[in-house]
Amino acid sequence: MGLAKQSSGYRATLSDTAQASIQSNSGIKEPDGFIPLCVPEIRGTEWQYLKECLDTNWVSSAGPFVNRFEKMVTDYVGTKYGVATVNGTAALHIALLVAGVKPDEEVLVSTMSFIAPANAIRYVGAWPVFIDADPAYWQMDVAKLDNFISKGCHWHNGELTNRATGRRVKAILPVHILGHPCDMNTIREVARKYSLTIIEDATESLGAQYQGEMVGHLGDVACFSFNGNKTITTGGGGMVVTDRWEWAERASYLTTQAKDDPLEYIHGEIGYNYRLTNVQAALGCAQMEQLERYIEAKLRIAGAYSYALGEVSGIITMMEAPWASSVSWLNTVLIEEKVFGTDSRGLLKHLASSNIQARPLWQPLHMSPAHKGAYSIDCPEAERLYLEALSLPSSVGLTKQDQGRVTAAIADAGKRQN
Ligand SMILES: *Cc1c(COP(=O)(O)O)cnc(C)c1O
C-alpha cells in the first residue's frame, strides 16, 4: 500500500536505489529525519532462516518453512488449518472460491476498507454490496447491515435476495480495519438466520480479539496479509485459515494450479499459482516469533498518541469498543476542522513539511470508480471518515522521540490556525 519511503533507522540493509532515495533522511539521530507511516521491523532470526533456505536450496514454493509458518499462524489464531498464499488479496480470492461464492451472487462488505476485498469479490464474478461504517469504532455498521437485510432483502426458500438488484446474497465479508475487530455477534446472528457464509478480512488485525476470541476464528474462513506494512511481514504474503478440512484442502488445491496428478500434469480445473515460497515463509516464521512484542509496541504507541493528543482540541483518537481487544495496527485520528482550525488534508501537508508521513483513510468503496456498478446502502459515516481521518506513523520501531515529534507537529498545526 504505497510505502514509497522507508526510514533507514529500522533497516538492516537496503538496496542501493532505496539507500539513495532516502539519503537525505538517513541517520537515526537526525532530529528532522523522515518518519514513515508504517515500516517493517526486522531484528529477529530472519537472516538465520533465510540463510537456511539458501544453504539447503529450498527457495521455492515447497519447503519446511511453509508448513512451519502455516502451523505457527494457525496455532496462534486457533484455527485447524491454514494455507499460505502469495498475498492477502489472493487469500481473499481463494476464500471466496472455497466458500462457493458464484458469479452474480452478492457479498455484503465494509465500504470503509482498502479495495482488495471488493476486487476479490469481482474476481469470482460476484458483486459487492457496500455497508456503512459505524460512527464510534469505524467498522462495518451491524445495525445498518441488519436493517438492509430485513428491509432491503427478501427471504424465500432458504435464499436471501437483494430486492434492488434481484441477486442472491451469499456471504458477509466484514473487514476488521486498523487492528480493531468488527462487532461479530450481530453478524453471526444474521448469518445464521439467513444461511450466509462469513468470510473475515483479518488482514489488518492479526492478534486482535472479539470478546476474548481471536480475529480470524470468528467466521467460516478468514484471510491474513503479510504485506510490508502489516504487523508482521513476509515481504508479500497471505494466508487462508479455516476449521473446515474440505475448504482447506480445496484452498491448497486451487493455490497450486489444481493439479490432480503429480507426475502427468493433469489438472482437474483452472487453478492458480498462489502458493507462498519457502523464502517468504522463512521470514514469516521469524516474524511470528516476535508478534507479541510487536503488538505490545503497537499498543504502547496507541497509548502515547491517546495521551498526548487527548490534550489537543479538535483531534479525536480511535476508541476501542468494550467488546474489543484491538492491536492498534495503524493509529488513526479524526480532525474536526471547525475546532482544530484546519482539515485533515491541511494537517497532512503540515506533517509532510515536518518530514512526517501521514495518510487519509481509503476512499470508501461505494465511491470508487472501480466499483461504480455495485449496489450500496447510504454510507454517510464512511464519507465523513474519509474527509476527517488521518493515519499517523505507527511502525513497531517508532521511537518515543519520533512519536514526540509527531504529536508536537500536530499540536503546532492546531495552534497556528487558532
Ligand atoms: C492489506 C490488505 C489486504 C491484502 O493486501 P495484500 O497487499 O494483497 O497482501 C486486504 N484487505 C485489507 C483491508 C488490507 O488492508
pLDDT at 211: 98
Which one of 109, 123, 203 would you pick to mutate in the ligand 1 pocket, going by the greatest count of ligand atoms within 8 A of its CB? 203
pLDDT digits (tens, 9 = 90+) for 287-343: 999 999 999 999 999 999 999 999 899 999 999 999 999 999 999 999 999 999 999
Ligand 1 atom closest to the CA of 223, numbered from 1: 10
Ligand 1 atom closest to the CA of 113, numbered from 1: 13
pLDDT at 60: 87
Residue 5 has pLDDT above 80, yes or no: no
318 backbone dihedrals φ, ψ, rounded to 5°:
-70, 140
Nearest CA residue ID for atom 13, ligand 1: 114
201 CB contacts (<8 Å, ≥6 apart)? 92, 110, 113, 116, 117, 173, 174, 175, 176, 222, 223
Q: Can you tell me the mean pLDDT for 127-133?
A: 98
Q: Can you tell me the mean pLDDT for 159-184?
A: 98
End-to-end CA distance of the chain: 34
Ligand 1 atom closest to the CA of 230, numbered from 1: 1
Distance in Å, CA 223 to ligand 1 centroid: 9
Q: Can you tell me the mean pLDDT for 132-153?
A: 98
Ligand 1 atom closest to the CA of 1, numbered from 1: 7
pLDDT at 25: 43
Mutual angle of helices 278-288 and 64-77, in 10-degree steps: 40
Render 75-128 in DSSP notation, one character per residue.
Answer: HHHT-SEEEEESSHHHHHHHHHHHTT--TT-EEEEESSS-SHHHHHHHHTT-EE
User: Among residues 368, 354, 352, 308, which one has the least CA distance to residue 333?
Assistant: 308
Query: What is the distance, to the nearest Å, from the Cα of residue 336 to the centroid of all Cα atoms in its chain?
Result: 26
347 CB contacts (<8 Å, ≥6 apart)? 335, 340, 358, 390, 410, 413
- Provide the 8-state DSSP code for 231: S
Ligand 1 atom closest to the CA of 236, numbered from 1: 9
Nearest CA residue ID for atom 2, ligand 1: 203
Print burial letters for 276-290: b (CB count within 10 Å at least 16), e (below 16).
bbbbbbbbbbbbbeb
pLDDT digits (tens, 9 = 90+) for 190-232: 999 999 999 999 999 999 999 999 999 999 999 999 999 999 9
131 backbone dihedrals φ, ψ, rounded to 5°:
-115, 140
Distance in Å, CA 360 to ligand 1 centroid: 16
Alpha carbons 216 and 176: distance in angstroms, whole number? 10
Distance in Å, CA 88 to ligand 1 centroid: 5
Distance in Å, CA 237 to ligand 1 centroid: 10
67 backbone dihedrals φ, ψ, rounded to 5°:
-65, -40
Residue 30 has pLDDT above 90, yes or no: no
Number of Cα atoms under 13 Å in the Cβ half of residue 46: 18
Residue 133 has pLDDT above 90, yes or no: yes
pLDDT at 367: 98
Distance in Å, CA 112 to ligand 1 centroid: 13
Single-letter amino acid code for the residue at 342: T
Is residue 360 within 8 A of residue 390, CB to CB? The reply is: yes
pLDDT at 31: 60
Nearest CA residue ID for atom 5, ligand 1: 88
Ligand 1 atom closest to the CA of 114, numbered from 1: 13
pLDDT at 411: 96
- Judge if the beta carbon of residue 314 lies within 6 A of ligand 1: no
Is residue 107 within 8 A of residue 127, CB to CB? The reply is: yes
Nearest CA residue ID for atom 11, ligand 1: 116
Within 213-256, strands assigned E span 213-214, 221-225, 238-242
pLDDT mean across residues, the chain: 92
Which one of 86, 114, 391 would you pick to mutate in the ligand 1 pocket, going by the greatest count of ligand atoms within 8 A of its CB? 114
pLDDT digits (tens, 9 = 90+) for 355-387: 999 999 999 999 999 999 999 999 999 999 999
- Judge if the beta carbon of residue 88 lies within 6 A of ligand 1: yes
User: Among residues 36, 40, 37, 38, which one has the least CA distance to residue 12?
Assistant: 40
User: Among residues 388, 271, 392, which one has the least CA distance to residue 340?
Assistant: 388
Nearest CA residue ID for atom 9, ligand 1: 88
Single-letter amino acid code for the residue at 105: E
Nearest CA residue ID for atom 10, ligand 1: 116
Whether the full predicted model's pTM is greater than 0.85, yes or no, is yes
User: Among residues 134, 181, 110, 142, which one has the least CA distance to residue 327?
Assistant: 181
Question: Locate cell 487519509: which residue?
Answer: 360
Question: Locate cell 450500496: which residue?
Answer: 376
- Judge if the beta carbon of residue 116 lies within 6 A of ligand 1: yes
Is residue 327 within 8 A of residue 208, CB to CB? The reply is: yes
Alpha carbons 290 and 313: distance in angstroms, whole number? 36
Question: Locate cell 486482535: which residue?
Answer: 208
Q: Can you tell me the mean pLDDT for 150-172?
A: 97
- Provide the 8-state DSSP code for 330: S
pLDDT digits (tens, 9 = 90+) for 242-294: 999 999 999 999 999 999 998 999 999 999 999 999 999 999 999 999 999 99
